[in-house]
């Protein structure tokens, strides 16, 4: 590099520094602005009594399942009065694959969800056919078919499958950041923050759905923006809807059914 080029570069550097300083000066706050207090005292956050442990529901949670019954749930399908057909015993509910999926009777927009699931200790099968279930964070099917936004449940402790279909994925969309699976037979925990999509009058998307999810305390989805409802084949798409039920999937794979316990939700 010759001397004239070096000198030119130095001049350019000095000019850049001067421009930066000039910009900084113009953005500086005036003495009057600096004298203003920045503390605010309202709105005061509502007091919520947390559970004895982080797994227990806080005082403002809606209990969706506490081990006693399925009163907060119904069978998926056109008959909205059909009771949920899953078994409850030992404070645990277990998928009944023949009875089909179950839906919350209540509909939700944005929420925080806590849910615990267990893959059977003696699970068999491979790929997608090994403890497959799922949480449809908003189910928009009227027919009982699986249509919505599925946060996958699957045994991936020692089982591989397509990565946008493993546990922690937003099925066929969002690959989980990591795989923090526990062994089959151990209880696993999902903590989910769901932001429902908003639609304009004409049905177009005003703001897309977003999800943040922790599996066993480990972040697997970080403010993931969804492209639409889960599709097994084809690309996800949006279809206008409002508040929706949450669905637990009864997947048709031949492996033994998963169980659930301690499910609670805080509408936001």
How many Å separate Cα 108 from the centre of its chain? 13
Closest distance of CB 247 from Mg ion, Å: 11
Residue placing its CB nearer to Mg ion in the complex, 70 or 167? 167
CA triple 124-104-112, angle to 5 deg: 90
Within residues 238-267, the interface with Mg ion by CB under 5 A covers 249
- Which of the residues 10 through 49 are near Mg ion (CB under 5 A)? none
**Residue 231 beta carbon to Mg ion: minimum distance, rounded to whole angstroms:** 13
Of 72, 113, 101, 89, the closest CA to residue 195 belongs to 113
CB 95, min distance to Mg ion, A: 11
Least Å distance, CB 201 to Mg ion, is: 33
Distance of CA 113 to the CA centre of its chain: 8
Closer CB to Mg ion, 129 or 218, in the complex: 129
* Whether the bond into 43 is cis, omega within 30 of 0: yes
Site for Mg ion in 74-133 (CB under 5 A): 132
Tell the smallest beta-carbon distance from residue 30 to Mg ion (Å).
Answer: 58
Token representation of residue 91: 């404070």
The residues in 147-176 that bind Mg ion, with binding defined as CB under 5 A, are none
Tracing tokens 């990591």 back to the chain, one arrives at 178
Nearer to Mg ion, 132 or 221 (CB): 132
Cα separation, 171 vs 229, whole angstroms: 9
User: Which residue, 104 or 255, has its beta carbon nearer to Mg ion?
Assistant: 255
Q: Which residue is nearest to Mg ion (CB)?
A: 134
**Total number of residues that touch Mg ion (CB under 5 A):** 3
Q: In the set 100, 131, 134, 184, which binds Mg ion (CB under 5 A)?
A: 134
HSE, CB side, 13 Å, CA atoms: give it for residue 90.
3
Phi, psi at 51, each rounded to 5°: -70, 170
CB of residue 59 vs Mg ion: minimum separation in angstroms?
32
* CA separation for the pair 134, 228 (Å, rounded): 17
d(C-alpha 162, C-alpha 126), whole Å: 12
Closer to Mg ion at the Cβ: 85 or 134?
A: 134
Binding site for Mg ion (CB under 5 A): 132, 134, 249
């Amino acid at each position: 590099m010759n001397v004239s080029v070096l000198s030119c570069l130095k001049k350019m550097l000095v000019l850049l520094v001067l421009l930066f300083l000039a910009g900084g000066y113009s953005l500086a706050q005036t003495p009057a602005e600096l004298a203003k207090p920045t503390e605010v005292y309202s709105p005061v956050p509502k007091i919520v009594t947390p559970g004895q442990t982080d797994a227990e529901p806080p005082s403002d949670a809606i209990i969706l399942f506490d081990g006693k019954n399925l009163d907060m749930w119904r069978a998926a399908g056109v008959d909205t009065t059909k009771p949920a057909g899953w078994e409850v015993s030992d404070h645990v509910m277990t998928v009944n694959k023949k009875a089909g999926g179950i839906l919350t009777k209540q509909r939700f927009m944005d929420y925080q969800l806590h849910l615990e699931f267990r893959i059977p200790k003696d699970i068999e099968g491979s790929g997608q056919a090994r403890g497959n279930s799922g949480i449809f964070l908003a189910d928009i099917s009227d027919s009982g078919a699986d249509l919505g936004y599925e946060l996958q449940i699957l045994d991936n402790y020692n089982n591989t499958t397509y990565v946008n279909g493993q546990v922690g994925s937003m099925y066929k969309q969002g690959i989980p950041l990591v795989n923090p699976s526990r062994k089959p037979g151990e209880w696993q925990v999902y903590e989910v923050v769901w932001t429902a999509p908003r639609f304009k009058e004409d049905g177009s998307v005003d703001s897309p759905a977003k999800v943040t999810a922790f599996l066993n305390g480990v972040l697997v989805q970080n403010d993931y923006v969804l492209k639409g409802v889960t599709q097994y084949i084809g690309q996800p798409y949006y279809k206008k809807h409002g508040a929706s039920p949450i669905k637990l999937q009864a997947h048709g794979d031949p492996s033994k059914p998963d169980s659930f316990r301690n499910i609670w939700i805080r509408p936001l």
